Structure 1
Amino acid sequence: MKLDILVFGAHPDDAELGAGATIAKEIALGKRVGVIDLTRGELGTRGTAEIRDREARKAATILGLAVRENMEFQDGFFRNDTEHQLALIRQIRRFRPEVVLCNAVEDRHIDHARGSSLVSDSCFLSGLVKIDTCLDGDDQWQEPWRPKQVYHYIQWKNLVPDFAIDVSGYMEKKLEAIRAYDSQFYDPGSKEPETPISSRNFLDSVTYRARDLGRLIGVAYAEGFTVERTVAVRSLDALI
């Protein structure tokens, strides 16, 4: 299955929090979008890996994803090494996305920056002809594939984006997908321990950050991304 956009997240809910409205908008525009979670979030303070699995499936349905899979890397301990790179190369060559979205280049959680570099390096390596891969259970050699663009969404830290996407009209879909992870976020009736993302303030910040970024570009809501190479536009009037 070829995808237009492939989104990676170190944990289930990273993609929704960082780029949920952009994902919803691109799907509404007819793009085929998939998500690959690197881990099951099994070290999370609240909930369990099994609960996160169910929540991720629910969020995928809400967003209308073409596919959602989990690499089942070890939460907190996966590495940007040959083994993990080859595993991701197989998926990049399998889905052949034009654009890849992935974790923030710098963030509070150590898995976010590590996941960011792992995905970025794997996207580059995936285009090298002399790296041989095939999918598990399949002896057919995979053709090299390198996405045209790798963009990094913004997470806990307020990094300055290199560009912002107008997501007005898609915030409710993003919030609905985030609320699918009810074990993780604000729930006044929960008996689980408090975490940095379980507060009302954090959940509210998803909206006010998008509103503030929207203010800066003259729209209602926006999501920001950082880039790995200079952004190119076809003409001056291609910008908002």
Structure 2
Amino acid sequence: MSFRPPELPDIVLDPPRGPVLVVAPHPDDEMMGPGGTLILHARAGDPISIVVVCDGSLGDPDGQFPREGYTDRRERETREVAQRFLATDDVHFFRFADGITEEDVDKVYPNLPPDPDDKRRALVHGLSTHLRGHVQRVRRRVGYYPWAGEFHAAHWGCGMAMENLMTNEPALFEETDVLGYEVWSTLVPDTLVDVTSTFETKLEAIRCYETQTHYVDYSRVVGGLNLYRGMLIPGPELNHAEAFKGKYRGGRRG
């Protein structure tokens, strides 16, 4: 047992310059989680590549939108946000079945063993294989992924897949700072990025995901989280921040 309090996180004003990869479980998570930080990258001219793992088909539980073309609509929302706010059209969709858990992982990987733990293991290794090819291709300076403590099963699966890849193939990440972001469950941060300057733009981008904000005003939810995180940014004003597991090896610190 340690009798020392946790170290304060690094306060970062600008992330390191260079190409960026972000892994999003669903179409919208790239903005809900690290969106303010990604906008900082975009404003600095850093090229951004986005990988969206699940097809988002479960995002309309009450049938408020036409079923036909629904997943296409969610992809279109993501592409439009990426182009408008992140200056990129480098968006890749794996189109895995939404809600990837042991109950429906057979939709993605057939002929799995019946044991739920074995299915989850297969899910993580399968996602790692898919992500490996993309990571190897893009070789980015900075990478963002959902941290592995997320309560949402699809977020957890993507986070575990990335951590599995980082553990088993560290050479892929020798030149990449990889940070885990939060959406559905909060983390104990190693890094806080001051996104006060991009916060309103992030909220504007979130409101563009009409299929999702029809159900929940995510701009208020995410805004509250970012305001809470901003309490650790020194200064008399109200600040906003995004929290990450992992640290940058560069960037401008506060």
TM-score (norm 1): 0.76
Are residues 1:221 and 2:230 paired?
no
Report Cα offsets for 1:167-219 as digits up to 9, x if no partner: 1211122112211210111x4xxxxxxxxxx334x431211221222222126
Q: Partner of 2:192 in structure 1?
A: 164
Task: Within 5 Å, give how 1:8-19 maps onto structure 2.
Answer: 8-19=23-34
Q: Aligned match of 1:122 in 165, 180, 201? A: 165
Structure 1 position 80 matched with structure 2 position 96: no
- The two structures, once aligned, show a CA RMSD in angstroms of 2.3
Letter in 2 for 1:212: Y
1:9–1:38: 8 Å Cα contact kept in structure 2?
yes
C-alpha change, 1:168 and 1:145, in structure 2 (3 Å) is: closer
Identity among equivalent positions (%) equals 25
Q: Which residue of 2 aligns with 1:36?
A: 51
Contact preservation (8 Å) 1:89, 1:123: no
Counterpart mapping for 1:33-72 below 5 A: 33-46=48-61, 47=65, 48-63=70-85, 64-65=87-88, 67-72=90-95
Whether the 8 Å contact between 1:126 and 1:146 is mirrored in structure 2 is no
C-alpha contact 2:127 2:158 (8 A) present in aligned 1? no
Q: 1:162, CA displacement in angstroms?
A: 1.6
Query: Residue by residue, what CA displacement relative to the aligned partner does 1:97-118 show, whole Å, maximum 9, x if unpaired?
Result: 1221001322231111111011
Q: Distance in 1 between matches of 2:174 and 2:128?
A: 14
Q: 1:97 to 1:38 in 2, by over 3 A?
A: same
Aligned letter for 1:21?
G
Q: Structure 2 counterpart of 1:75, which letter?
A: D
Conserved? CA contact 2:182–2:244, under 8 Å: yes
Of structures 1 and 2, the one with the larger relative CO (CA 8 A, separation 6+) is: 2
* 2:222 paired with 1:199: no
Matched residue, 1:96 = 139
Matched AA of 2:79: R
Alpha-carbon shift at residue 145 of structure 1 (Å)? 5.9
Residue 221 and residue 123 in structure 1: after superposition, are their counterparts in 2 closer, same or farther (change >3 A)?
same
Aligned counterpart, 2:204:
176
Residues 218 and 205 of structure 1: is their aligned pair in 2 closer, same or farther, counting only changes over 3 Å?
Answer: farther
Contact 1:93 1:145 in 2 (8 A): no
Structure 1 residues 14 and 232: CA distance shift in structure 2, 3 A: closer
8 Å Cα contact 1:103-1:112 kept in structure 2: yes
Give the conservation status (yes or no) of the 8 Å contact 1:92–1:126.
no
- For normalisation by structure 2, the TM-score amounts to 0.72
Could you list the per-position Cα deviations for residues 210-231 of structure 1 after superposition, in whole angstroms to 9, with x for gaps in the alignment? 122222212621111012xxx4
Query: What SS does the corresponding residue of 2:243 show, helix, strand or coil?
Result: strand
Structure-2 separation of matches of 1:232 and 1:99 = 8
CA-CA distance at 1:126 after TM superposition: 4.8
Letter in 1 for 2:164: D
> Alignment partner for residue 21 of structure 1, among 36, 41, 45?
36
Per the alignment, in what secondary structure is the counterpart of residue 93 of structure 1? helix
- Post-superposition Cα deviations, 1:101-153, rounded to whole Å, max 9, x if no partner, equal 0013222311111110112223454556xxxxxxxxxxxxxxx6655222111
Q: Which amino acid aligns with 1:35?
A: I
